[in-house]
Structure 1
């Protein structure tokens, strides 16, 4: 396990053994730990391994009786251990921040694992009842063990090809599972007990009578979330797009760093090709003008433009599979994320901030029961909504409130999978063989409601607090590139406060996302703050893929020769999509063809790992 996950920058290691129990921890060369923070750490009958950043140290130390003179220097892992000693398996809700830990309790002869609700953390595990239980923060470490079978999870693979989200606990490997966010796992007497320890809830906000009060408190919560993640860091970076989420994170980080006499390195992905043909829907494909405006607004932001010319889309896929050991989602983004992380590492960045989780929290659009006629017209002209959607909104405008509330209050329905071969690279026989539709109806795939009873329901579906995949992915990237990767927009206290703000404050008929727009006054330029167009990441992907058509053809030929791939992927459909991309980049369905090709390529390359092994 150690060799599988030990790049050059991870060298400090320690292993604890007790009878048939073993715990190990590997840390970076750059980490400086106090003697009592060397992990695994044993105190009496308890031994802990932990990765953590605790945000409520002072409050928690007070509850745990830690003297004030020791609170500054006490390691996070020791605080977690003391919390377990006081509250046992009920300790996770008491701990705020980003953390994942495992504790062997020799008194109870049980292993207790837990991970936080929204952070970039993760725990993977394999359980063979009566024989072995193994856990790690990395799938790669588990795969290094000969005792763990390497078998592809066909249900997961099918879902990936058909663009359905599998159960959050599942991974691409049969028998290897991920612990969902906000859950704990107890192993006692060779039996596993999993339970949800924390639920995301809207804060109950009192004492605020004016919109300005909410805006002021929102900004305080947001600034706190950013500051907690850059505290004591000398070299801080941020992924900066042209939007409000990463723009606001950048603005708040730059403000705090300026007070400390420090600079902020910003990394912005830019296209290599003209994106006008790919952004006829009113969106923008080059985020540089908006990112520049944000950087110019703050004197201590250093811009770094990443065009990805040295990291092709295929390079991004290969690196993604190497780091994450799984075919992932949003494949067109792999290459520029890898390129940004490589550049940030070369700059010695210690903490890289993102704003990925903002849609359901800090930059919630609001969910008005109706749009005004000028707003409907404006959004049609900007091609943000279709004419059909405009007609529906005009009908809502004419309806009395009680009818709209009745419509909203009906039982929520979920999308049914559309298994049309022309829209998916999945082999139809494979889909039938594993009963893909049956898997969906029995609840294997995560169902996204089509209609929501309340705005809170919709926001929780967007935030998807139990979905461990974003946190796992960023944690694995952090391991690979020797830095912390943190997202203030997924801070639990901030998110719950945002959920508690009345929905009417998020929109006014002209602007959506009104809370963050108002809060960012004097922090972001109006060009960014009031912009209602959305950016489109990797908008020039079709052109990048055109340049790779020879390599893609070779891969499809290799897939054709592979039984494990050809039985699961419809290569005829993939070849058809590649032909369209190669010769007709102006095709109205070019996005669909890119999606088909890239999902198939990523999954096919993953499946080749198992050639002649199953």
Structure 2
């Protein structure tokens, strides 16, 4: 619930308090309920605290436990408090007021370097162990909170954000070309495959799921946990799977409702955010506490160009959820006058690095602003739901049936699927076959495997060896995403590897700090993730229904119009070109300047950018919002702006 920072002088030199003050001053850009420091001879800890949970009000951070000779500074909300109370033998009269940082410290005192394994929640923290003369810290399993650091032979400095570290006199602000090469070469939504690097040569980050020890001039990184299935669940009926899911999901939602201020939630017209809101509203019903929901919608004069199976304005589905669930104060936000282009500098300031999700940038930040204005302390969301609670793709499952020669089950499923969404049953077999045998599909339709344009200068790519490096991570050069191993293996890789998580979590942490509220995701809870990975695949697709488990589990929580909708899919950010129309010429002029900038073109692919620029000069066509060249041009301008920080 804080921004944390600190310095450890490895060579035992006394701390220069001016450097500590520089770190704390750099954090003053964020709102805070308290700002405190602690230091010993060669260690400095700081905390720029935001009080989010009831227990955090008045919390002393950094905190020094003189009995155990341990000091801690923490950015954390721990969700399995009751379990830890029992394991640690905490007396009942202490439980209500005990802070999360105290729980972390007691866990370390009992389990030492194994302690992060016992923690569930969103956290990054640092502990100074005076007896062992070492720093120990950890970042949560999916890295929902960030933790950056600088080290050399004589000092180790850390912080929740990057900019304060760059204020230190010994940290040189230098571009990390290895990071940039990966960022430019990967055409998909992730930034890099290296989970510990940053855009700055001298600043790294602690990877998700890792703890670390700094003793002397040595740092030891250890992966302490995995988000994987422990065993496949085997219940006797669908109802038992539903009951078990509801139990674990409700626990995850309730544990994220600890807030000293109002509860808010992002709400679209879909299942993931709807499920979170539905379960949260039921949990708050007895206390008569209402949830503020925040929903992005396009401006009224935007003409939806998307196919009839998509919808850019999800208002009817959102309203249906609001009316059915009850206990909701809805906010429908069209952010008229805001756009992705004029937000670039603000976002670079927030992110401290380039970003690729520009289509949604104006409304993601806008929802945080609106939530802060309403006094929200916790902002719920369902961002991880596609990989957890709402997993279940019909065509991929049907493809697996085809490959396993499960003909009877396949035809039964195709019949039921067609009866729900319309269309001929056998007419879908070619689609299923294409998913099952993608190489055959490419041979029959060679134009279908088109390649996204890459931003990277080919000479820079060769010089950096980036494609060989990405291949080692299993990233497909043509697809720009993970593998050709199929959606099931990609899901496993998503939770096995760490690189997909840093991008979104950097945004979450930094927007949370900027607006003094925490974005929290029950679909990302470790207990929920492990449960969902343990569920047999046939529970996710059955009786012609995709995402079957969440659809059945939200009966009574969501209206059938939303719960059983398989024909229309919401698409967010479809209006980004429309919103940029007033600034299109300014955007083109900046892109033109980019094509003349020799320094930037050492890294970016000038020919590809010029081709995209020619298309953009034909005028802003709102129906090209998904066009890869349009997207590449905006992403290139974002990198161009970021590169100016180094000139």
Fold-level match, TM-score > 0.5?
Answer: yes
Shifted more, 371-380 versus 104-113: the winner is 371-380
The answer for the alignment partner of 1:585 in structure 2 is 621
For residues 379 and 393 of structure 1, what CA distance do their matches in structure 2 show?
Answer: 17
Deviations 1:103-148 (A, max 9, x none): 11111111111011136212111122x1221111111222222321
1:543-592, CA deviations, whole angstroms, 9 ceiling, x for partnerless residues? 22333212212322443454332322234533442443452627779521
Specify whether residues 346 and 578 from structure 1 end up closer, same or farther in structure 2 by C-alpha distance, changes over 3 A only: farther
What is the aligned partner in structure 1 of residue 581 from structure 2?
546
**Change in CA separation of 1:207 and 1:427 when aligned onto 2, cut-off 3 Å:** closer
Cα separation, 2, equivalents of 1:463 and 1:50:
25
Taking the aligned partners of 2:508 and 2:435, their CA distance within structure 1 comes to 41
Give the TM-score, by structure 2 length. 0.83
8 Å contact 1:182–1:196 — kept in the other structure? yes
1:257 equivalent to 2:284? Answer: yes
In the superposition, relative to structure 1, how do residues 217 and 315 fare at CA in structure 2: closer, same or farther (>3 Å)?
same
Residue of structure 1 equivalent to 2:542:
508
Moved more, 582-591 or 58-67: 582-591
Rounded Cα–Cα distance in structure 1 between residues aligned with 2:239 and 2:384: 24
Q: Corresponding residue for 2:443?
A: none
Does 2:215 match 1:192? no
In the aligned structure 2, how far is the partner of 1:235 from the partner of 1:221? 24
Q: Secondary structure at the match of 1:303?
A: strand
Which of 25, 50, 56 pairs up with 1:28?
50
For the 8 Å contact 1:271–1:307, the answer to whether it is kept is yes
Q: Give the Cα–Cα distance (whole angstroms) in 1 for the partners of residues 226 and 89 of structure 2.
A: 27
Deviation at residue 248 of structure 1 after TM alignment: 0.8
Aligned-partner Cα distance in 1 for 2:429–2:172:
53
- In structure 1, what is the equivalent of residue 88 of structure 2? 64
1:111–1:187 contact (8 Å) kept in structure 2: yes
Q: Which range moved further: 336-345 or 570-579?
A: 570-579
Alignment of 1:381-420 (within 5 A): 390-391=429-430, 393-394=432-433
| Equivalent residue in structure 2 for 1:247, among 260, 274, 290 | 274
Question: 1:319-340: per-residue Cα shift (whole Å, max 9, x none)?
Answer: 2111110112322111111111
Question: Superposition pairs for residues 70-89 of structure 1, below 5 Å?
Answer: 70-89=94-113
**Contact persistence 1:139–1:324 (CA under 8 A):** no
Measure, in 2, the Cα distance between the counterparts of 1:313 and 1:539. Answer: 12
- Whether the 8 Å CA contact 2:144–2:509 is kept in 1: the answer is yes
- Larger mean CA deviation between 23-32 and 252-261 belongs to 23-32
Equivalence map 1:332-351=2 (5 Å)? 332-351=359-378
Task: Return closer, same or farther for 1:550/1:464 CA change in 2, 3 Å cut-off.
Answer: farther
Structure 2: how far apart are the matches of 1:110 and 1:26?
Answer: 23
Change over 3 Å in CA distance of 1:382–1:283 after alignment to 2? farther
Q: What is residue 10 of structure 1 aligned with on the other side?
A: 32
Q: Do the aligned partners of 2:576 and 2:625 also contact (CA within 8 Å) in 1?
A: no
Offset, 1:240: 0.9
Deviation at 1:509, TM superposition (A): 4.4
* Match for residue 327 of structure 1 among 342, 350, 354: 354
| Structure 2 partner of 1:316 | 343
In structure 1, how many angstroms separate the alpha carbons of the residues matched to 2:200 and 2:644? 13
Give the match for residue 415 of structure 1.
Answer: none
Q: Whole-Å Cα distance in 1 between the matches of residues 435 and 364 of structure 2?
A: 41
Residue 143, structure 1, aligned to residue 175, structure 2:
no
Secondary structure at 2:590's aligned position in 1?
helix
What CA distance in whole angstroms lies between the structure 1 residues aligned with 2:355 and 2:423? Answer: 32
1:359 and 1:462 in contact (8 A); partners too: no
Query: Aligned equivalents of 1:378 and 1:599: distance in 2?
Result: 42
Q: Secondary structure at the match of 2:47?
A: strand
Deviation readout 1:455-498 (Å, 9 max, x if unpaired): 4x443334566333322321111000110111110001111111
Aligned with 1:153 (options 165, 176, 183) = 176
Alignment partner of 1:610 is 2:646:
yes
Any idea what SS the aligned residue of 1:551 has?
helix
Give the whole-Å Cα distance in 2 for the aligned partners of 1:122 and 1:459: 23
Matches within 5 A, 1:299-314: 299-314=326-341
Deviation of the 1:382 alpha carbon: 8.2
| Equivalent position to 1:215, from 221, 237, 242 | 242
Contact 2:337 2:579 in 1 (8 A): no
TM (norm. structure 1) is: 0.88
In the alignment, which residue of structure 2 is the partner of 1:401?
none
Listed as ranges, the matches of 1:414-493 within 5 Å are 423-443=453-473, 448-452=482-486, 455=488, 457-463=489-495, 466=498, 467-493=501-527
1:276 aligned onto 2:304: yes
The answer to which of 268-277 and 319-328 deviates more is 268-277
* Aligned counterparts of 1:479 and 1:114: Cα–Cα separation in 2: 19
- CA distance in 2 between partners of 1:419 and 1:477 (Å): 35
Range moving further from structure 2, 488-497 or 466-475: 466-475
Matched, 1:495 2:529: yes
Please give the per-residue CA displacement for 1:196-228, whole angstroms capped at 9, x wherever unaligned.
001112244768311101101111211111111
| Contact kept in structure 1, 2:35 and 2:49, CA below 8 Å | yes
Distance (whole Å) between structure 2 residues aligned to residue 139 and residue 347 of structure 1: 29
Asked whether the 8 Å contact 1:52–1:100 carries over to 2, the reply is yes
- Which whole-Å deviations, capped at 9, do the CAs of 1:71-128 have from their partners, x for residues lacking one? 2222111111111111110111112222211111111111111011136212111122
Q: Is 2:474–2:483's contact at 8 Å kept on the other side of the alignment?
A: no
**Offset at 1:286?**
1.4
Gaps of 5+ in 1: 398-403, 409-417
Distance of aligned partners of 1:62 and 1:590 in 2 relative to their CA distance in 1, 3 Å threshold: closer
| Cα drift, residue 343 of structure 1 | 1.1
Residue-by-residue CA offset, 1:160-189 (whole Å, 9 max, x unaligned)? 233253312121222322212111111112
Q: Report the count of equivalent residues.
A: 586
Aligned alpha-carbon RMSD (Å):
3.1
| Mapping for residues 516-535 of structure 1, pairs under 5 Å | 516-532=550-566, 533-535=568-570
1:390–1:284 CA distance, 2 compared to 1 (3 A) = farther
Task: Answer yes or no: is the 8 Å Cα contact 2:475–2:483 preserved in 1.
Answer: no
- Shift in Å, 1:516: 0.4
- Structure 1 residues 160 and 547, CA gap change in structure 2 (3 angstroms): farther
User: What is the deviation of 1:244?
Assistant: 0.6
Q: Does the 8 Å CA contact 2:259/2:377 hold for their aligned counterparts?
A: no
Offset at residue 305 of structure 1 (A): 1.8
Distance in 1, Cα, partners of 2:434 & 2:159: 54
Q: Is the Cα–Cα contact under 8 Å of residues 37 and 75 in structure 1 kept in the other structure?
A: no
